[in-house]
Amino acid sequence: MRETNFDGIVGPSHNYSGLSYGNVASLQFAKDISSPKQAALQGLKKAKTLADMGILQGVIPPQVRPDLLALRNLGFSGTDAEVLQQAYQEDPTLLSICSSSSFMWTANAATVAPSSDTKDGKCHFTVANLRSKAHRAIEPQNTYQSLQQIFCHEDFFRVHSCLELGDAFSDEGAANHTRFESTKTNQALHFFVYGREAMNRQAIQPERFPARQTLEASKAVARRNNIKEELCFFAQQNPAVIDAGVFHNDVISVGYKNVLLYHETAFLNTKATLDELQQRMQGDLIGIRVSLDDVSVEAAVQTYLFNSQIVEPEPGKMVLIAPEHCQQEASVKAFIDKMIADPNNPIEEAHYFDLLQSMKNGGGPACLRLRVALTDEEIAAVNPKCWINDNLYNDLCRWVNEYYRDELNLEDLRDPSFLLQAKEAIQSLHGILGFTRTC
């Protein structure tokens, strides 16, 4: 098994619309002018740097926005130009909702179960329904199609559509799921972190901001992905940190193999959760605890320390892929330096990335990637045109420079020529990635 990353390519409509209540950055930077070109190039640079470090790195293409189907579903009619104009005039927020580039955060695209952990020995994907936010609820169908184009070999992969049945099954994908792996036995543990129990009125919930992942959804995803029951563990996120702006678990903890970097406030009962994790990992878990004295929850949310990626370019040597914001905040930088100097954990280096365009919407390095652990045979069965190498990287940068705007205002989104350009861009990218209608 080798862990690969599939990064979402930022879309031409990348903008700041303040659509994610409970996501502090999304509200803080609402209505700022965005740069789709910079955003896409920043994301690609991260992906290419990881590929150069020896990490297998794929990409998932953007979706066409504005989403005319969604606007028509909201009752706007006529030609595409008329639909855009009506939406802009009647309720510009609806145009924003249907124009978000939020599919770029592929940690929310799906939850993945590698073939070693499933009952049928196939690698399963369940697309996330993202139903707690309107602008994200329009993503699943396209995500399903993209995953089918990338993981198209039926002998190895099963892509499932998203959960239905409403709010009780609200699912945000891999952002609330971590697959640990024991270094001694190679056995996996699927750690699902949920924000609320939809069907238990007595259960504790956040009071201020919505909990976007339900226990019921996490359990359904585990079943749908056919994961062996004994490999699953469900724990509740701390409602108080959701109320402090931690809208996904990957904003307050990150795991890789037998390592978990976590804030002491991350879970409803952090000590009991860690004890059980340790026991299920047969004593092999290396927990790196960040205390409130080290880093406040506010600093964690501002810098996205826990939205770093942990990668392993050489066996046993782990590297933290962190946002530049972490370098700029003294307490966070001091903690990272202390962690790197500590020989009791395998994280030996930190690399910092400028992801400002994504960060201003509350998306850090880990939000931008979907992790897929694959065997060599499965790697060979993935659509080969999706893997980043020098050629694909150069093609993608050229493509971004050709189609993306340096600056985007919300007003630009009502321009029918913007939509035409976006459609042309995505079509051209599908050509580069070898996407076909039928796989």
Q: Which residues bind ligand SUG (CB under 6 A)?
A: 16-20, 23, 26, 100, 102, 105, 107-108, 133, 136, 175, 247-248, 250-251, 361-363, 367
Burial, 309: exposed, middle or buried (Cβ in 10 Å; 0-12, 13-18, 19+)? buried
Q: How far apart are CB 175 and ligand SUG at their closest, in Å?
A: 3
195: closest CA among 245, 239, 136, 132?
239
- The catalytically annotated residue of 124, 248, 263, 325 is 248
290: closest CA among 335, 227, 325?
335
- The catalytically annotated residue of 3, 139, 172, 197 is 172
Nearer to ligand SUG, 16 or 169 (CB): 16
Mark whether 248 is an active-site residue. yes
Q: How far apart are CB 382 and ligand SUG at their closest, in Å?
A: 22
Q: How far apart are CB 9 and ligand SUG at their closest, in Å?
A: 15
Nearer to ligand SUG, 233 or 247 (CB): 247
Structure tokens at 273: 């959760």
Mark whether 411 is an active-site residue. no
Neighbours of 368 (CB within 10 A): 27
Q: How far apart are CB 400 and ligand SUG at their closest, in Å?
A: 20
Q: How far apart are CB 391 and ligand SUG at their closest, in Å?
A: 29
Instruction: State how beta strands 2-8 and 177-181 pair.
Output: unpaired
Q: How far apart are CB 111 and ligand SUG at their closest, in Å?
A: 12
Nearer to ligand SUG, 197 or 250 (CB): 250
Structure tokens at 376: 């060599």
Nearer to ligand SUG, 193 or 392 (CB): 193
**Dist CA 33 CA 95 (whole Å):** 16
- The catalytically annotated residue of 264, 367, 378, 386 is 367
Nearer to ligand SUG, 326 or 367 (CB): 367
Please report which helix (H) or strand (E) contains residue 339, including its range: helix 330-341
Nearer to ligand SUG, 48 or 369 (CB): 369
**Dist CA 229 CA 50 (whole Å):** 33
Mark whether 164 is an active-site residue. no
Maximum alpha-carbon separation in the chain: 65
Residues that are catalytic: 172, 248, 367
